Amino acid sequence: MHVGIVSEENTDIESTKIKSESLLETVSDAEVNSRISFEEFTDERTLISQDTFGTKQMKIKVIEVSDETPPSKWKFGDRVKVTKILVTIKHLTTQQVEESEFNIESIERELAEKRHYTSTNRWIPTEYIKNGYVVGSHHTRLISDASALDYIVF
């Protein structure tokens, strides 16, 4: 084993890359059927959000994150900047499922150009990403610009 002196900046960048890669990994079917520890368990209900009328459910999977380092880690903790997501909407009345991939970064730019503002906060705390999916309470912050441009009706 080789031990060397590494600058603090390099370790932060490397640990951010490792964390962002591990956040995007999903649990395979083989791993689900095996025994998992309590810390690894994620209740499916925490990953789902519902519309006001209770007729639709939404689930957001993180596909890509930026390698950009968070501006103030000491204040907000470990966060990643989400770039691409996969949105799955299930209509509960018809059991129809819709899926679509969104590049949040380009949607944010488009809204800023067309409407001169943007409301997306793509920085998500790492503890709100479970098995590659965003916890339901943080769905709105990722899809707000797509909703404003009528890409998503939820």
Whole-number pLDDT of residue 52: 87
Residue range 107-139, pLDDT digits in tens: 999 998 988 887 778 889 888 998 889 999 889
- H-type alpha helices, 6-103: 8-24, 29-33, 73-76
Statement: the pTM of the whole predicted model exceeds 0.75: no
Q: Are strands 48-50 and 123-125 parallel, antiparallel or unpaired?
A: unpaired
Q: Report which of 59, 61, 69 is spatially closest to residue 16, judged by C-alpha positions.
A: 69
Whole-number pLDDT of residue 78: 84
Per-residue model confidence as pLDDT tens for the chain (154 residues): 343 444 444 445 555 555 566 666 665 555 555 566 656 666 788 889 998 898 999 999 999 998 887 777 667 778 889 999 999 999 999 999 999 999 999 999 999 898 888 777 888 988 899 888 999 988 988 888 888 888 888 7
Whole-number pLDDT of residue 1: 38
Q: How far apart are CA 3 and CA 146, in angstroms?
A: 47
Whole-number pLDDT of residue 71: 72
- Other C-beta atoms lying within 10 Å of the C-beta of residue 111: 19
**Domain boundary assignment for the chain:** 8-148
In the numeric block, the tokens 């009328």 are attached to 53
